[in-house]
Amino acid sequence: MNLSNLPSFTDVLTRTAERYKSALAPSPCAHTVKYTQISAGNNHTCAVFENGSAQCWGSNFYGELGIGDVSVNNRPTPQWVIAPSCTFDIDDDGNVSALTDGLMIVRAMLGMNRDAVISGLTGATATRPTWPQIRAHLSASCGLQGLAP
């Protein structure tokens, strides 16, 4: 075996450094849109793109990220914010009323549940006449997380 053909230790280090340099160096971002606004809370950050879409990352304990899911409390990578499709016709009876729909929202936000929220407030033609249906609507469509079961 001819040991004179082996690379020197310095050559090996130099080649190894060159090989991994590209992996360590930042590469240009592939996004074609840019952030226009960034807002940071204590444990989360949200950014708005110039097209109006938004991403948030960080703590999601209270649903801060707006991703419609609080099952994972921490999201270190940017998550697309789900645009709420909330209608204030909470019981879906075709009528938006502060005295019925608005009061149900207030009751739910105060921690009430079941009949304590809906009693006497759902319309006769409501397609969401029960607490589970209303709770699901408030949670999934309106982004109200942590409502009483």
Stretch that binds Ca ion, among 12-20, 26-34, 49-57, 83-91 (CB under 5 A): 83-91
Phi-psi label, residue 12: left if phi above 0, alpha if psi -120 to 50, beta otherwise: alpha
Beta bridge partners of 37: 48
For residue 72, count CB atoms less than 10 angstroms from its CB and return exposed for 0-12, middle for 13-18, buried for 19 or more. exposed
Stretch that binds Ca ion, among 33-41, 46-54, 65-73, 88-96 (CB under 5 A): 88-96
Q: Is 126 helix (H, G, I), strand (E, B) or coil?
A: coil
Site string for Ca ion, 31-60 (x = CB under 5 A): ------------------------------
Interface with Ca ion, residue 64, by CB under 5 A? no
Chain residues binding Ca ion by CB under 5 A are 89, 91, 93, 95, 101
